[in-house]
Structure 1
Amino acid sequence: MWNFGMIVLFLVFFYHLLKGTSDVSRNILDNLKSLRQNPDEYHFRSRESSTTAILVTLGVMAAMALVIIINCIFLHVVYRTFQFFAYQEEKKREEMNKKEGL
């Protein structure tokens, strides 16, 4: 479920980035800047180009894609481990049935 939500969020970001009518890039850049600023200090707002905002958005999207890929790999490893243990248990059960048949 988590991976599905992350993929949907990634696609929404990508759609808005390609569409170009939304201020998603500007909002992401402003939110990232607000994380490092002290609210008690006064800073002059420098005007950034839209290219900077788009590059920051692409960086955030790349990080999100990396998280999605890592999550998918983790789920794959968990699934393969489950299959391995299920196979081992089935093999043990077959051996027990053979011993009981003798």
Structure 2
Amino acid sequence: MSNLNRIEVLEIIERAFREVGEESDIPLPQDICEETRILGGNSPFDSMHVVNIIVLVEAGVSDTFNVDITLANEHTMSQSKSPFRSIGTLADYIVGALK
């Protein structure tokens, strides 16, 4: 996917992260970056919030790149290292999946 730009994917994920946090009145880290946790560790979100982020990211990728992607599938959920660990790992996964 030649027009898939990792920076745009990062922006989509960060936007979804902020939107879910703001809608749920969850205090978010001041500096949201590639290392910011989405799942596990010191993530501010529970599993339902992560599902909401996934839905927003899927919609954002579809709207931006005109490509449908399903992030919550058997492949992503069965990986030993979840692509949902951080904003950067999710961006890497999306870019790799859509090549």
TM-score by length of 1: 0.27
Give the number of the structure with larger relative contact order, counting CA–CA contacts within 8 Å between residues 6 or more apart.
2
As a proportion of its length, which structure holds more helix? 1
Rg: which structure is higher?
1
